[in-house]
Structure 1
């Protein structure tokens, strides 16, 4: 078939006109309509990244038509039905969906909370009794009551450290009496951080749960953030019998300015990892370094000054202060905090907020009779009895068998308890399945990737694979040897010739597509 371009009216394309006609059909390919709005969106999106020759809107329209012809051909060849294509598309879709599973308002609130807490450092002591997530209710009650007992003893005036050593199962409690020291936001699991920042100084919290078990904590002190410091150090390990003598000798050498700190560290420091870099360590803040090392580092007032020799659990050290970093302002840290909040345990609050809104938006119906059957019949041995609809979301029915498959991963919990998570998961699944049809922004991005992937596969099949044919490449080279390549040898310019040959094959393919498919352009009248 020869190309047919049926001009409905005279064309004078301007962006204003396109905006006014955005809902109209711009062109058709074999009667399949393509709308002005899609073209306008793509044109505006690519306006800043294409070269000037392609910003002319009429030329860009031709490129857009060629693009859609390639998509049409890829579908005609069934490239969208190949399993490898489906797998790649599914993988991308799962990644693309992630931002749409976040509640921006809740995220902003948590980011502001994180920055507010970042301004402070809290010193905490705690008592921990581990408890598995699968623990029975009676075990939970026992642990809770034990912590209440310990809490009462502390409130009555008993020393926290002594009570911690008696009750806590934290492996470090015998050394530190339960004291964690100073830390700030995003350094502990969120439930622990919450209790630490919300409990008044000197008070002991009620028992609370984290993924490690149940805790009580006491807030010993709160101070303003010290920011971060960058230091270098020289160290002699504790198992070196001459460590104290050696560190004192080095200290005197530094005081007498008989050598640079960096060069001495490279030569003698037994922390060989930092020694190679002149003793320099990565910058750190509270909670990121052992307590006494951090305290000495932050106590040095002036950049370039050195500490007196001091001892840690690792050996003897001298520290040189390289730089102090005060806390950055909110705008400087906002993006970093957002990323950390979204991957932190507090992101569960964001997820819960999304689910809550979906429950309000969807018609979710639970078949309580079908759910109660799990309390009467044994689903593990008589699963064939479970054939009812257990859940409906906007008319989509979910059967008991699907819930049984979900239950198998939670055999130590009651079906009624597990169903809460199952219901939320199914609502989220429904949202993800229908996002393409309910969210234009997602739909456009997903469509662009899908079509781009199809065109990639088409070009791979019709252009790049064919360009590997040495006979075809040689024929193309010989035809253009005198005019285009100035009689150069193919071996000297092979990569250039291959690239040119690929372009030639793609142009030839597009010409064939224009002959194969009927293109009708509905040209728009200029409006005053």
Structure 2
């Protein structure tokens, strides 16, 4: 661990215990509470042989020293240094996004997704479009058709028959209203919720989307079969193909099937004939297939293959003719503690519309803690002003009372004017699918939500205690490092006269114990270590060139080391030309070994240059102790023994 990391660790705080906020000690006019101290103590997990009282008191001494130094850094306004603020802002940018979701909500969604992934539901669908056959929106007519379908379902009429009669889904002509099996993430979240909340044989209430009403029926359920590994030959139907071409494709599909039955290998045929060029390049192998990814006809044929290597008969979909070969099945993951699968579910949740639940939590917090006020309630004026600016049209009379600086919204102490609104609306007023402009009310609501989201992110410290603590701890850690650099480390390294005097005064403390001139090879893994070991053993003089060849995986350090520092020397006596065998570090699987140039089996005096690193360390201790005494005079420390007693329990 480098010096900066060590002192940052001392300065940082950790997990919070349930402790009443009481002042543990004061330092000058400043206070440090017990909860803050315990957070730091528990993160560093300081413990002296299981003696809590001893470990708390030892850590408290270090903690007080750290507090005094950080306070002095604030007094000197080091917190305004550009270098400090740049590091803090860089960290904020790196970690803020991870705090923009509510862990409790994400956890609930993960649990729900896992449970739903354990079964498939066979679904039928009726779609009632808002647009009539002429392409005009007619929501009243859609409501009337929806109500008629519901009435006839209540009277016991067959769902699939009604789908064929009423559904505006173009696929109904092929699937008769049955869309096949689905699983979690197959359909939009609002559809999935309706379906998974409906018993077998029952129908859902109508689900409204942007384009119409959807009614689903649960036709049956099964345990999830997992994912299928399969190969495909696709003979795609060209656009506008006539009957002659279609018959030729059908005949080719039959011919290929007969060749497969006769023993031809699937892969070469797929590579030669399949129009699915991505899978064809891989001998027809497709990515793992989950339920609900493909056409129901495709999936019925796929999951109808009951053994590995089985080949389907040719079948037709809207894409063309298909022949499938089952390669294998990856069983569904049923272990809720499978970390890899839980991570996969979380990633899908974050990319799915269900993440909106976490955003709703953010909006709620902003409204409750900061307060949200819409200060311009005249939508007629706002619409007129917006239309004029966004469409580059003459200003309408209703919008003339407004200006770019007119305040529209306030969140907490922040205000947002018409220029903010126009900047957003100019970019986001159109639907992403290219079907035209969104309704004015929708764009306005999305802007308010976007503004609340950005406010939350900008003021994350006010909403999330863990984030607030982490940022404060990082800033204090950097201040600690900066002031130590100024007061101790730089001074100790640059004051050559003081270092020389300290060395002369304590020469007897700066000696070589039993030592050796060695090169130590630090390797990324045991395999590399053995390779380097063998090469160096065969050619010791070429050790540097060997290390350079493997520079990305090996670090070679040539220096004088005491015997106790040489890896795997154990109780052996080193001698020139000796090599120690690789020593594996079990914590990270790295490995190290040494080649010995010369051995010194007696205690020797270190020269000043040889002892300089040790002298600097000793001088740093002296400087730091002197400085700490001055800080304690400037910020007298008073410990509340009663509170300390409670902490020690």
TM-score normalised by L of structure 2 = 0.54
Shift of 1:364: 4.1
Cα contact 1:201–1:221 (8 A) shared by 2 = yes
Secondary structure in 2 aligned to 1:517? helix
* 1:483 is the counterpart of 2:549: no
Q: Which moved more, 1:119-128 or 1:451-460?
A: 451-460
**Structure 2 Cα separation of the partners of residues 221 and 413 of structure 1:** 36
- Cα deviation code 1:126-177 (max 9, x no counterpart): 659799xxxxxx988347847976997997996746876xx556xx777667
Cα contact 1:110–1:341 (8 A) shared by 2 = yes
**Structure 2 Cα separation of the partners of residues 460 and 494 of structure 1:** 28
* Highest RCO, 1 vs 2 (Cα 8 Å, sep ≥ 6): 1
Give the CA RMSD over aligned residues: 5.9
Shift of 1:286: 1.6
Task: Classify 1:499/1:437 alpha carbon distance in 2 versus 1 (closer, same or farther; 3 Å).
Answer: farther
Cα contact 1:119–1:327 (8 A) shared by 2 = no
Q: Which residue of 1 aligns with 2:41?
A: 43
Cα contact 1:80–1:86 (8 A) shared by 2 = no
Superposition pairs of residues 203-242 of structure 1, within 5 angstroms: 206=206, 208-209=208-209, 213-214=211-212, 216=214, 218-219=216-217, 221-229=219-227, 231=229
**Structure 1 Cα separation of the partners of residues 92 and 105 of structure 2:** 28
1:351 to 359, 373, 383: 359
Larger Rg, first or second structure (1 or 2): 2
Cα contact 1:362–1:393 (8 A) shared by 2 = yes
Task: Classify 1:240/1:375 alpha carbon distance in 2 versus 1 (closer, same or farther; 3 Å).
Answer: closer
Shift of 1:345: 0.5
Task: Classify 1:140/1:417 alpha carbon distance in 2 versus 1 (closer, same or farther; 3 Å).
Answer: farther
Task: Classify 1:504/1:353 alpha carbon distance in 2 versus 1 (closer, same or farther; 3 Å).
Answer: same
Shift of 1:44: 1.6
Q: Which residue of 2 aligns with 1:525?
A: 641
Superposition pairs of residues 142-291 of structure 1, within 5 angstroms: 142=138, 145=141, 160=163, 168=169, 180-197=179-196, 206=206, 208-209=208-209, 213-214=211-212, 216=214, 218-219=216-217, 221-229=219-227, 231=229, 243-250=256-263, 270=271, 284-288=289-293, 291=296
Superposition pairs of residues 49-448 of structure 1, within 5 angstroms: 56-68=55-67, 71-72=70-71, 75=74, 76=76, 78=78, 80-82=80-82, 84-92=86-94, 94-99=96-101, 102=102, 104=104, 108=108, 111-112=111-112, 115-116=115-116, 118-125=118-125, 141-142=137-138, 145=141, 160=163, 168=169, 180-197=179-196, 206=206, 208-209=208-209, 213-214=211-212, 216=214, 218-219=216-217, 221-229=219-227, 231=229, 243-250=256-263, 270=271, 284-288=289-293, 291=296, 294-295=299-300, 298-299=303-304, 306-307=309-310, 310-311=313-314, 316-321=323-328, 324-325=331-332, 327-328=334-335, 337=345, 340-356=348-364, 358-360=366-368, 363-368=371-376, 373-375=381-383, 380=389, 385=403, 387-393=405-411, 397-411=415-429, 412=437, 417-429=442-454, 431-432=456-457, 436-437=461-462, 440-448=465-473
Task: Classify 1:288/1:105 alpha carbon distance in 2 versus 1 (closer, same or farther; 3 Å).
Answer: closer
Secondary structure in 1 aligned to 2:42? helix
Matched pairs, number: 479
Cα contact 2:233–2:284 (8 A) shared by 1 = no
- Cα deviation code 1:444-474 (max 9, x no counterpart): 23322333455567789999999999x99xx
Secondary structure in 1 aligned to 2:367? helix
**Structure 2 Cα separation of the partners of residues 44 and 493 of structure 1:** 39
Secondary structure in 1 aligned to 2:25? strand
Structure 2's unaligned 5+ residue stretches are 1-16, 236-251, 390-394, 430-436, 520-556, 566-609
Cα contact 2:128–2:146 (8 A) shared by 1 = no
Q: Which residue of 1 aligns with 2:4?
A: none
Q: Which residue of 1 aligns with 2:476?
A: 451
Secondary structure in 2 aligned to 1:492? strand
